[in-house]
Amino acid sequence: MSTPKAPDPAKLLISVFMKEQQVFEDIFDRLEQIAGPCDIISKWLDFDFTDYYYKEMGSPLYRRLIAFKPLIDQDMLADIKLATNDLEKSCLSGGNRQVNIDPGYLLASRFVLATGKEYSHRIYIGKNIYADLTLMYTKQGFKTLEWTYPDYASDAVTGFLEKVRNKYLLDLKERKDK
């Protein structure tokens, strides 16, 4: 028989992509209001893996990834996704999004994104939100899955996630040592 135990807290990450980089500067404080202070932020990354968003947002698109200092309970992800959806809506222009905001969390073993879209590999987590297992971590590093979006499989993103994972493991150890 398995014995239930509380899951480890997670490192919250938020991916933000947009056409106009100034939009990021405009919403950064609001992201920190949702998620707490920033811990690690990526450099600007080109978003050239798909043209899916070009019709709505234009091109070229740019991405930044943000890891936040506070560790979160994993069951907070649905509420965070709803809050970032509201932030996206507040940035609409002519009915089109100016920014796409995707929250997720990182654990030692995986990276998970929140989505409102149901699919076979996504697990319902409440409030009309699903968890998408995006990457798994093995001894060889982050491993993609057949449904991993190409941008999350890129060296730029997995390299950033490696840095965040190292910081997360330190944060987790510090928390357990208290």
Note down pLDDT in tens along the chain; length 178 residues: 999 999 999 999 999 999 999 999 999 999 999 999 999 999 999 888 889 999 999 999 999 999 999 999 999 999 999 999 999 999 999 999 999 999 999 999 999 999 999 999 999 999 999 999 999 999 999 999 999 999 999 999 999 999 999 999 999 999 888 7
Instruction: Determine how many CB atoms are found less than 10 A away from the CB of residue 69.
Output: 15
If DSSP codes are grouped into helix, strand and coil, which group holds residue 66?
A: strand
Q: Cβ(114)–Cβ(81) under 8 Å?
A: yes
* β-bridge partners, 105: 12, 112
Tell the residue number behind the tokens 């990457």, with chain if given: 135
Buried b (16+ CB within 10 A) or exposed e, 43-64: eebebeeeeebeeebeeebbbb
How far apart are the C-alpha atoms of 78 and 124, rounded to whole Å? 9
